[in-house]
Amino acid sequence: MDTGAQGEPPQTSKGIAPAYIGLILIWSTTPLAVVLSLRDLDAIWSLALRMLLAAVMAAVVLRVSRLKLARDAAAWRLYGIGSLSMFGAMLFTYLGARHLPSGMISVLFGLSPLMVGVLSSVFLPGVRLRPLQWLGMGLGLAGLVVIFTGGGSTAAIDGASVLLVLLGVLTYAVSAVFMKQAPAPLHPLVQTTGALWVSALGCVLVLPFLGGPVPRHMPSALTVSALVYSAGFGSIVAMLCYFYLLRHVSAGTVALTTLITPVIALLLGMGINHERFHVEILWGMALIFFGLLAYYAREMGPGAASGLTA
């Protein structure tokens, strides 16, 4: 693979903490931004505009940074894998977000470490799950059952929408695991830009089939602001942090951010978007959270380094 200008920066741990904190803050606020961006726009049009805007922004940043987009076959393979966590995951998420509160979306994405663990044990050599991690996955599954069967909610929980978001989570998990297998990772900005352009192309291709009518009126300032935030922070800054962290820590450790983001997202959704949940739905969310705690119990202990063991 051509590594010239787009080669990796020196290996260092100095950027891990800022990248980790930034990823938590952005992923905590992006679900609310997604929901707000759908107030005046069709879901697929909103996603397409987000990806196109983000792709242009990333290309400008890439140019200013004097980096070049790798165009060899190995690079395009990485762009395709990376686009699974952008276009693939977000396509299902946007379709589901039409009928779900932002807090629920964040909680469902909290299941991504469990999916990453299962996929890693299948596809990554020498990886196996510990009994406590299997317990965590059992609690997460129980939480989903409670959410599906928990009765009414003041913020209507639509089963089909939950399934769509879960498909998005699965797509994200697949991308995380296979990106970790990449033998020669690209510079994070190059990887992000390439994956965004592949994602933008994917959005353009699905618009005629899944998109609603062409927008004929200017969306509200709130919708536009949410769209710009999703593009700039959710699709560029967050993915830069994400790809950077995947190169320096395990895929499971990156997914550990989902222990924190659902809590912050729930509080933001309730405070800003006036989202309210039936008590049984909250019990389901709690089970998912405790499942994550069980899954990462050992990793959060002194000296722990990975959510998976070889």
**How do residues 95-129 score in pLDDT, each as one tens digit?**
999 888 888 898 888 888 888 888 888 887 777 88
Which tens digit of pLDDT belongs to each residue from 245-294? 877 887 667 767 777 888 888 888 888 888 877 787 788 888 888 888 88
Q: Collapsing DSSP states into helix, strand and coil, what is residue 273?
A: coil
Q: Which tops the pLDDT comparison, 164 or 8?
A: 164
| Cβ count near 117 (within 10 Å) | 27
| Distant-in-sequence contacts of 271-275, Cβ < 8 A, 24+ apart | 272/32, 273/32, 273/35, 273/36, 273/101, 273/102, 275/101, 275/102, 275/103, 275/155
Q: Please report the pLDDT score of residue 300 as a whole number.
A: 56
Q: Please report the pLDDT score of residue 303 as a whole number.
A: 39
Structure tokens at 280: 């049984």
Which tens digit of pLDDT belongs to each residue from 58-100? 999 999 999 999 999 889 999 999 999 899 999 999 999 988 8
Most confident among 41-50, 136-145, 154-163, 237-246 (mean pLDDT): 41-50
d(Cα 77, Cα 194) in Å, to the nearest integer? 10
**Residue in this structure with the two tokens 């200008």, named with its chain if needed:** 5
172-200 per-residue burial string, b: 16 or more CB within 10 A, e: under 16: bbbbbbbbbebeebbbbbbbbbbbbbbbb
Please state which of the ranges 25-39, 139-153, 206-220, 296-310 shows the lowest mean pLDDT. Answer: 296-310
Q: Which tops the pLDDT comparison, 10 or 30?
A: 30
pLDDT level of residue 183 (50, 70, 90 thresholds):
low
Which tens digit of pLDDT belongs to each residue from 16-56? 888 888 998 998 999 999 999 999 999 999 999 999 999 99
**Residue in this structure with the two tokens 């059992």, named with its chain if needed:** 138
Q: Please report the pLDDT score of residue 109 as a whole number.
A: 87
233 pairs with which residues across the strands? none
Q: Please report the pLDDT score of residue 308 as a whole number.
A: 34
